[in-house]
Structure 1
């Protein structure tokens, strides 16, 4: 049995006209001999009546800090409405479609409400439906605990749903439909000559996603990678082939121009605060440990970490800055804070052991008089902290320097 998982985002199910396009994508997959499993997000974006953010707003009119468990119960509703309407659309077109919640589809999670992790995915019910030539329409973003509590998988969780079902069903591929033609080398709102990537590796797209690119949820990629299931990001609104995400080193169809590239894309994150903690030179590693333990105990994620004798530098999301400062000051630390920062990153699996990559990165920024406040690098990415006011110039200059439009 040939299985394909097709995930459609909020803009792809937002109106009858667009749902007609979705129906045609599903019908085409069936005509090609596939048994499709359809995953849908909630309809539309913030402001639309059934969008997730709209539902969150409704819940918080009662109490701003409503408990996570109760929040999950209302967030669950958006995908259920979308899945019912999409199943009805397919039924009207003559397909035997069946709506399933995440729990119905076998997705069992932990009890970390609003950001649950998948513990297992039991495909038994889905396999039974597919053998009957039915089309399961599954609510993305959802799971259920072993105690039958509704949970959600965190923002972007419908991608994770699709990948988990694809892995459990040994699908030939997972298609992620959105409102763009594929993954781009940079944000097209900043770089007008950004181009669509034909192919990208699991590792590269994970880096892009973690560094700010809103392309696909990194957890979805990590799940698909476990079974080497190809992911394809493409548009509901066109017939463009999209971007293939796979283990490109093993793909015979991938050309040398893709394998040999140093950089794949440029991305960025904003709303960042840099924190410098001054330490006694004789304090040793224990002081560093205590600083980061304070952040961990406060539920604050840190990034761009540099540890030097007498000083620690790291960044956090600006939304957590006030809480972080209160916690650190209680510990008696001397602190410097720099607000209004952004992180720009160049990502590419080809930069490993290639001399001059960091030099090119620094040259692109300094040539444009962009202050480099901090850097960090790995085998597949280089990132710099820059003033927020310079982020667009930084992205453009790096995109040009690494010839990503060619």
Structure 2
């Protein structure tokens, strides 16, 4: 049985015209000998009647702090509506489609409402439907606990659903359909000559996603990577081949190995604040522990961490900067806050141990008059903190410096 998982995002299923295009993608896969398992997101985007954000606003209209259990029940409705409408469209086209909620598809999760983790998938019902020649249409983004509670998987959860089903079903591939032609070297709204990548490694795309690129949820990539299931990101609205996400050592079309590329893309994250905690010379070695434990206890996520003998620097979302500062001041620390920052990153699987990468990075920003507030690097990325008003200029400069406009 040659199984393909095809996931369609909110814009792909938002209108009758778009859903007809989805039918065409599914029919084509079946003509090629695949048996399709379809995963759908809620229809449209924020403001659209059945979009997830619209349903959240509806629930919070009566109680701003509605319980996460009840909120998950509401959010699950978006994908259920979408799946039923999409299945009806497929049935009208002669494809025998059957709707399954996440729970009916065998997706079992923990009970962490609004951000549940998949614990196991029982594929028996899906495989039974496929053996009968039917096309399962699975509600993305959701699962069920052992106690029968409906849960949602957090932002990007439909990607995670598709990838997890692909791994559990030993699918030939997982296709992620969206409204762009593939994964790009930068946001095309920021960089005019950003281009589509033919192929990218699992690790590179995970880094891009973590650093702000809105391409595919990193959890989905990590799941596919465990079983080496190829992921393909492509558009519902064109016949472009899209971007293949695969193991390291694959060629990128020019003959170069994927992991040999110094840079695959440039990303940015906005609305960040830098927190600087001054440490007295007499501060104990436990000061750092106290700082980060206080952030954890107050559910404040931190990033770009640098620890020095005389100070600690890290970043938080700008919406959490006041809470972070107040928490630390209460503990007796002297704190400086720098609001209005952005994190700009270059990601590439081949930058490890390559001399001059950081020099090129710093040079590109210096030549454009952009000051660096903080840096952090890893084996596959370099990130800097800059003033937010320079974020666009920084992305453009780095994209040009690392030659990402050309294959």
Shared fold per TM-score greater than 0.5 = yes
Cα deviation 1:196-222 (Å, max 9, x = unaligned): 000000000000000000000000000
2:156 paired residue number: 156
Deviation at 1:251, TM superposition (A): 6.4
Measured after TM superposition, the shift of residue 322 of structure 1 is 2.1
Find the aligned partners of 2:253 and 2:16 in 1 and give their Cα distance: 37
**Shift of residue 252, structure 1, vs aligned partner:** 10
Distance (whole Å) between structure 1 residues aligned to residue 285 and residue 202 of structure 2: 35
The answer to whether structure 1 residue 146 and structure 2 residue 146 are counterparts is yes
Deviation at 1:254, TM superposition (A): 7.7
Distance 1:259 1:313, change over 3 A: closer
Following superposition, the deviation at residue 326 of structure 1 comes to 2.1
1:80 matched to which residue of 2? 80
Partner in structure 2 of residue 261 of structure 1: 261
Paired with 1:345 and 1:266, the residues of 2 have a C-alpha distance of 6
Matches within 5 A, 1:183-202: 183-202=183-202
Question: 2:249–2:257: 8 Å Cα contact kept in structure 1?
Answer: no
Instruction: Report the secondary structure of 2:359's partner residue.
Output: helix
Does the 8 Å CA contact 1:199/1:248 hold for their aligned counterparts?
no
Q: How does 1:96-175 map to 2 (within 5 A)?
A: 96-175=96-175
Deviation track 1:215-251 (CA, whole Å, cap 9, x = no partner) reads 0000000000000000000000000000000003156
- Mapped to 1, the partners of 2:352 and 2:381 lie a distance apart of 9
Check whether the contact 2:198–2:253 (CA below 8 A) recurs between aligned residues. Answer: no
Worse overlay, 90-99 or 241-250? 241-250
Confirm whether residue 60 of structure 1 aligns to residue 60 of structure 2: yes
RMSD after superposition: 1.2
Partner of 1:277: 277
The 5 A counterparts of 1:2-401 are: 2-249=2-249, 255-256=255-256, 258-401=258-401
Give 5+ residue unaligned stretches, structure 1. Answer: none
Kindly state the Cα deviation for residue 255 of structure 1 after the two structures are TM-superposed. Answer: 2.3
Structure 1 residue 260, shift from structure 2 partner: 3.1
> Post-superposition shift, 1:389?
0.3
Contact 1:248 1:254 in 2 (8 A): no
Q: Deviations over 1:256-315 (max 9, x none)?
A: 264532100000000100000111223243110110000011111110000001200000
CA distance in 2, matches of 1:284, 1:124: 57
Q: Using the alignment, how far apart are the partners of 1:329 and 1:212 within structure 2?
A: 30
The superposition leaves residues 358-391 of structure 1 with CA deviations (integer Å, 9 ceiling, x where unpaired) of 0000000011011100000011000000000000
SS in 2 for 1:256: coil
Q: Deviations over 1:4-37 (max 9, x none)?
A: 0000000000000000000010000000000000
2:390 and 2:254 map into 1 onto residues whose CA distance is: 36
Aligned-residue offset at 1:253: 7.5
Alpha-carbon spacing, 1:131–1:251, altered in 2? closer, same or farther (3 Å): farther
Distance 1:214 1:135 in 2: 29
- Give unpaired runs (5+ residues) of structure 2: none
CA distance in 2, matches of 1:257, 1:130: 37
Q: d(CA) in 2 for partners of 1:307 and 1:339? A: 20
Matched pairs, number: 406
How far apart, in 2, do the equivalents of 1:109 and 1:278 lie?
42
Separation in structure 2 between the aligned mates of residue 367 and residue 373 of structure 1, nearest angstrom: 16
Counterpart-to-counterpart distance in 1, 2:398 and 2:285 = 36
Indicate conservation of the 8 Å contact 2:3/2:170, yes or no: yes
CA contact (8 A) 1:199 1:254 kept: no
8 Å contact 2:21–2:237 — kept in the other structure?
yes
Contact 1:182 1:196 in 2 (8 A): yes
Partners of 2:171 and 2:35 in 1: CA distance: 9
Instruction: Give the match's secondary structure for 1:272.
Output: strand
Q: TM-score, normalised by structure 2?
A: 0.98
Q: TM-score, normalised by structure 1?
A: 0.98
**Matches of 1:341 and 1:245 in 2, distance apart?**
31
**Equivalents in 2 of 1:253, 1:261: separation in Å?**
12
